[in-house]
A and B are shown apart, each in its own frame.
Chain A
Amino acid sequence: MKCRTIVGGYGIGNALLTVESINFLSMIDTEKGIIDDMHHELFGRCIKGAVLVFPGAIGSSVGAYAIYSLKVNGVAPTAIICSNKADITTASGCAISNIPLVDSPDVESFLAIRSGMEVKVDADNNRVCLTNRTV
């Protein structure tokens, strides 16, 4: 799958897929990496070691520090895919945390991503690979 690189690097993990945006300041427990907003589609799910596939960050500008906290606390996603264009909060948070970040994946292949699928994000080569095998 072709995509656009925002922050380079390589990451592999199970896809954690959501169509809902995330306010990183108020919706995630940054010590455990668990989404703790009851109203969010991913409520109770852990993003540690996953490839987070989501539309982007909303709300607080401090969300960028929350992404960095996830990394320092060892519970960050291995890579992030933004379904449309990456936003400033996600891009800046990933930039200082060295979390590979890609966006704008081509639509057809993007629709093939299912939660739990193994995803390899090769941000240095603008590429994402999917396999049906779960990690």
Chain B
Amino acid sequence: MELTREEEKLLKGEGGESLAVAYRILLAIGEATEAEKLIPVKWAHLSGVNYNTIGDSGMAFLEKFSKNATVAIRTTINPMGFDESKTPNLSDEFIQKQMSIVRSYRMLGTTTSFTCVPYEIFEIPEKGSPVSFAESNAAVYSNSILGLLSNKESALSALASSITGKSPYSNLLLDKFRHAKVTIKPDYNLSTELDYGLLGYFAGNTVRDNCICVDMCKEKLDTIKAKALSAAIGTSGSCGMFTNEENNQQEVITCGKEEVNTIKDELSTAEGGDLIALGSPQLGLNELHLLAGLINGKRLTKRCIVFCARAVHNQSTQTGLIDQIENAGVEFMCDSCTCLTPLITRTDFDSVITNSVKAAYYLKNSNRIGVSLKDLKAIVKEYAN
């Protein structure tokens, strides 16, 4: 990859240590993805905010990195470990370390949005705009549904883009990589968000290209299903985009009920659970409306936590939606998400009920808790009366 004279200088450290680190990262990923050059991006979205995801070494890295760096473009960030407005039932050590990370992101000048669904909250740049999204569900959703151009960035590559305002001109930023070579064809009817999540997990796990074709009716793909599909694709693989544009040169891989059941059996290890956890990705307005409709006049028989972004919570408080949902016994957690949450541990829970394939994957593999995967309607039917 060719750097401009100015970029070369910054790589050598003339703009300070953090910019040098950032250009070192951009150079490595530029080489890996065979970029010719760096191009300006309009928006960076960073992962690596929850202490459980980056640990002590990540915390120390960010503290040093943020001392002499400032974001050059709009930069939003992922959820952290707990709801900032509540006193969390967590160790002082966790809280202190989490707040150190938050301080570093504030020092960098990021918008501390604590959301994994920035595309549901912030104004979307015009179609075809290059962005740098680390959160995998956000990268997949933005490429596939919104027409933004983002590679499936890493936490560090998006961080590098945030302070340089640039990203390597490669992979999904180029039109030729935004066409699929393989089509995934489900041979059964997709109906619930869980069906789309399981299909996404299969697709991401099976195809390692930049873009995959999923044979489905895109009109039926509402925001909720598209989020489930995007999050699952991002969890199981390296693919950053799906399309439904078929052409006759594509290889076709059938996804049968049997394949999907195997994935479900692997992720769903329990019959039921002690807690219902909704939100990975965090729930947006559409999902809150759907949930409110389903539980209207009912009361949940299990403890239920809904993870959503503070911006969505604030907006929904004004419209009365939050009250409506809380009346059924739901607890809200802002600023955080199910993924590697410190709020759901093995000490307190044997197993958790969720409709999210991504949540199931991380609850099972990182939190080491049993999971019962069910779609939202089934959850309400079984656990509310």
**Closest residue of chain B to A60, judged by CB?**
B136
Contact with A along B18-61 (1 / 0, CB 8 A): 00010011011101111000000000000110000111111011
Residue in B134, B237, B266 whose Cβ sees the most chain A Cβ within 10 Å: B134
**Closest residue of chain A to B170, judged by CB?**
A88
Contact B32 A5 (CB under 8 A): no
Chain B contacts of A63 at CB under 8 A?
A: 154-155
Q: Residue B154 contacts which of A5, A61, A101 (CB distance < 8 angstroms)? A: A61
A88 to B238, CA, bound (A): 9
A120 to B58, CA, bound (A): 29
Query: Distance (Å) between the CB of A91 and the closest chain B CB?
Result: 4
A63 to B151, CA, bound (A): 15
Q: A59-B236, A96-B21 are in contact. Are A91 and B155 (CB under 8 A)?
A: no
Q: A6-B31, A94-B28 are in contact. Are A61 and B158 (CB under 8 A)?
A: yes
Interface of B is mostly: helix
Report the number of A-B residue pairs with Cβ-Cβ less than 8 Å: 132
Chain A contacts of B236 at CB under 8 A?
A: 58-59
Tell me if B330 counts as interface (CB < 8 A to partner A). no
Contact B237 A62 (CB under 8 A): no
Tell me if B193 counts as interface (CB < 8 A to partner A). no
Query: Distance (Å) between the CB of B340 and the closest chain A CB?
Result: 8
A55 to B237, CA, bound (A): 12
Tell me if B152 counts as interface (CB < 8 A to partner A). yes
Tell me if A77 counts as interface (CB < 8 A to partner B). no
Contact A21 B153 (CB under 8 A): no
Contact A61 B58 (CB under 8 A): no
Contact B57 A103 (CB under 8 A): no
Contact B53 A25 (CB under 8 A): yes
Contact B136 A37 (CB under 8 A): no
Chain A contacts of B152 at CB under 8 A?
A: 61, 88
Contact A64 B21 (CB under 8 A): no
Tell me if A89 counts as interface (CB < 8 A to partner B). yes
Q: Can you identify 8 A-B contacts, CB atoms within 8 angstroms?
A: A61-B135, A61-B139, A62-B134, A63-B154, A72-B56, A88-B33, A92-B155, A94-B28
